[in-house]
Amino acid sequence: MTGRTELSSGTPGGAPHRPALARCIAMEPAKFAAAHWGRAPLLSRAGDLANPAGFTDLLDRAAADELLSRSGLRTPFLRVARDGEVLAEAAYTGGGGAGAEISDQVLDERVLSLYADGATLVLQGLHRLWPPIIDFTGELAGVLGQPLQVNAYLTPAGNQGFATHYDTHDVFVLQVQGRKRWRVHEPVLTDPLPRQTWSGRADEVAAQSDSAPALDTVLEPGDTLYLPRGWLHSATAQQDPSLHLTVGVRAWTRFTMVETLLDLAVDDPRLRASLPFGVDVTDPAGIEPEATETIAALRDWLNTVTPQRIAAELRRRSWPATRPAPLRPLAQAELIRCLTADDRITRRPGLRWRLSAQPDGPVDLQVFDRTVSFPPQCVPALQAVLESPGVRVGDLPGLDDDADRLVLARRLLREAIAVGG
C-alpha cells in the first residue's frame, strides 16, 4: 500500500481555500491534460481563474524586499541577470560581517545598484524558503505528481532580464504585480531533456525568435501562462516594475525510465563484463562483435525486468525530489515529551509512504529518505495514522494498552512520520 501527498487545508485568515491547480489554469484538469500538458501553451486571464486577489498572498514586492534585505539570503537563492546575461555572484554578494563569517551573503546595497540600473533579480528556491509558497507548492505537487521548484522574477520597468530561450522543464507563470509582455515561439527541439539546454542550439533559437511568435501577449496581475518545456520565450516589463513567479515542473519522461532501467542493469553480469584486451573502441569493425553481444545481453535482461522493480527504483529516485511539509522541531519535541493518550496525531502532510510486510518478520514503512521497521502487530495502528485525517493516540487499534500506543505514537513523532493533529 502506498500514500500520495495530501492537499493543504486552507488559507490564512479564514479565507476560502482556492485549489492550487485552479489558480494556475482556467480549464478543467482533464481538458488541460489532454490538450495542453506537455503539448501547447495555455494563457489564462485573472477573471477566469480562482484568483480574486491575484497572487500577492504568495509573494509581493514588500516580501521580496524583506528577503533581499533582512533574511541573510545567500547564493544560490539569488541570481541576477542584465542584458540577457547572468552576472557573477561576486557582483552582489560579500562577507556577512561579525558573527557571520561567510563570503556569499547577498548585500542589499549592491542589489539596489544593480536593480536601479535595470537588472532582473531572480529569487530562487522559494518552495524551500518562503512559507506561503511552500504550502502552495506542496499542494500543487500533490496534484501533478511531479517535483516542483518556484522562482520569483523582479524586473525593472521597461527591462528584459533574459534573452529568448527555452527551459527543459514545464512552467506555470503567475503574474503577481506589474505587467509583462511575453513573446512565445514554437520549439526548435521538442521535449528537450535537462542535458539538452538551449545554449547548445543558440543559433537555431536566435533564428526562430526572429519569426512570427505563436503568442504575443501582456500578462496583467492575476494572469497565468503555462509553457511546456522547449517552447521559446522572452519577457519584457512594461511601464511599471514587474514581479512574477515561475513554477517549474520537473516532468518525468520516458527517458527517465530508460535511465532507471540502466541503473537496474548493473545487476546483470553479462553487462558488467570487460571488453576484450586491447580492443580499439573507436574502430567500428573492432567493436562490432562486442556491440552485438551487448545488445543481445541487454535485450535478454530487459525481458526479465518487472514493473515492480522499475517502480521500486523510480520510487527511490523520485520521492526525495519532493520533501514533505515542514515541521517545527521544537514544538514537535515538546509534543513528544508531554504526549498523552488524549492527544491526536496525523500523518505529516505531503509525506509519501509505503508499507510492506516481511514474511514472519517486521513490517517496513518506507518514506522519502529511509525505511523504518515496526513489529507486525503495529500495522492497524500505522494504517490509522497514515490513512486518516487524525486519530486520538488512545484510539490506535491493534495494541494492548495505552502504554504501547504511546510508545508507537512517540516513535512516529520522533521519526517525523506523524505530527500533532
Q: Give CA–CA dist 217/159, Å, rounded.
A: 16
CB under 8 Å to 250, separation ≥6 — which residues?
146, 147, 148, 149, 169, 321
344 and 240 in one domain?
no
Q: Is residue 323 part of a domain?
A: no
33 and 178 in one domain?
yes
Instruction: Give the pLDDT confidence score for residue 4 in this predicted structure.
Output: 43
pLDDT in tens, the chain (421 residues): 555 433 333 344 455 678 999 999 999 999 999 999 999 999 999 999 977 789 999 999 999 999 999 999 999 999 999 988 899 999 999 988 888 788 899 999 999 999 999 999 999 999 999 999 999 999 999 999 999 999 999 999 999 989 999 999 999 999 999 999 999 999 999 999 999 999 999 999 999 999 999 999 999 999 999 999 999 999 999 999 999 999 999 989 999 999 999 999 999 999 999 999 999 999 999 999 999 999 999 999 999 999 999 999 999 989 999 999 999 999 999 999 999 999 999 999 999 999 998 788 899 999 999 999 999 999 999 999 999 999 999 999 999 999 999 999 999 999 999 999 8
Q: Give CA–CA dist 368/309, Å, rounded.
A: 17
264 and 208 in one domain?
no
271 and 237 in one domain?
no
Instruction: Give the pLDDT confidence score for residue 58 in this predicted structure.
Output: 97
Q: What is the CATH number of the domain that holds 349?
A: 3.90.930.40
Q: Give CA–CA dist 271/280, Å, rounded.
A: 18
Q: Give CA–CA dist 244/31, Å, rounded.
A: 25
Last residue of a domain, one of 206, 222, 249: 249
Q: Is the dihedral of CA 81, 82, 86, 91 positive or negative?
A: negative
335 and 301 in one domain?
no
Q: Is residue 276 part of a domain?
A: yes
Instruction: Give the pLDDT confidence score for residue 15 in this predicted structure.
Output: 58
158 and 78 in one domain?
yes
Q: Is residue 400 part of a domain?
A: yes
173 and 43 in one domain?
yes
The three cell numbers of residue 102 are: 561567510
Domain count, the chain: 3
Instruction: Give the pLDDT confidence score for residue 333 in this predicted structure.
Output: 97
The 10 Å Cβ neighbour count of residue 96 is: 16
Q: Is residue 27 part of a domain?
A: yes
Q: Give CA–CA dist 244/58, Å, rounded.
A: 11
Instruction: Give the pLDDT confidence score for residue 133 in this predicted structure.
Output: 97
The SS3 call for residue 87 is coil
259 and 240 in one domain?
no
132 and 221 in one domain?
yes
**Domain residue limits at 299:** 254-318
72 and 100 in one domain?
yes
Last residue of a domain, one of 200, 228, 249: 249
User: Is 0.75 surpassed by the pTM of this model?
Assistant: yes
141 and 281 in one domain?
no
Last residue of a domain, one of 227, 249, 271: 249
Q: Is residue 324 part of a domain?
A: no
69 and 200 in one domain?
yes
Q: What is the CATH number of the domain that holds 189?
A: 2.60.120.650
Where does 239-369 show beta strands of DSSP type E?
242-249, 344-347, 353-357, 363-366
Check if the beta carbon of residue 48 is closer than 8 Å to that of residue 26.
Answer: yes
Instruction: Give the pLDDT confidence score for residue 101 in this predicted structure.
Output: 80
